[in-house]
Amino acid sequence: MSEPRLLSITTMLAAIISIAAVSVSLNSIQAQQGETFSASLSGKDEIPPTESSATGWAMFQTDENGTQLSYSVNITGLNEITGAHIHNGSTGHNGDIVVTLSGQESAKDGNNATISLKGNITKDNLEGPLKGKDLSELVSLMSDGNVYVNVHTDQFQKGVIRGQIASGLPQTESNMGSNNTMG
């Protein structure tokens, strides 16, 4: 089998695994109470845009009393990242880091360049302009579309893929170009 064909098959398998992971994560998030936010990440949304073929998605879910925000981030097409953050900033503008989602991480399987991040955010995790503020400040920025997820690599230290956080569930790969969300 030729190397380009093997690479194409590997990329397709990574996309299928990502979609399956979205389905599993959606089921667990929908079982919780609170508001849901999401972002679809790509290089074209970076400022300035990158030509990276990497993609990703992020989901956030508030708990019922607003003291914790659970998150799940899935990155496909990168073997290693140097960090992932939430930054304040509207579409087309860069901003300060307000939450660190991850430091350096590597894909678990070199043949399947997928990195998955999961965790919880509380007011103690807020930094930069949100340091010392309530978690509701971050949730408000999410509701208004004024924060984004940014993933960094050694090659793209200012960001390789980015996605604006908005209310609702993430878009699937088949409809990323449209405004339809999964539901």
pLDDT-based confidence at 93, cuts 50/70/90? very high
CA angle 84, 87, 88 (to 5 degrees): 170
pLDDT-based confidence at 176, cuts 50/70/90? very low
Supply the CATH classification number for the domain 3-173. 2.60.40
In this structure, what token pair is assigned to residue 162?
């980015």
Q: Where are the domains of the chain?
A: 3-173
Contacts with 172 (C-beta within 8 Å, 6 or more apart), sequence order = 19, 22, 182
Written as one string, the DSSP assignment of 117-128 is EEEEE-GGG--G
pLDDT at 8: 59
Full-model pTM? 0.76
Q: Is the pLDDT of residue 182 over 90?
A: no
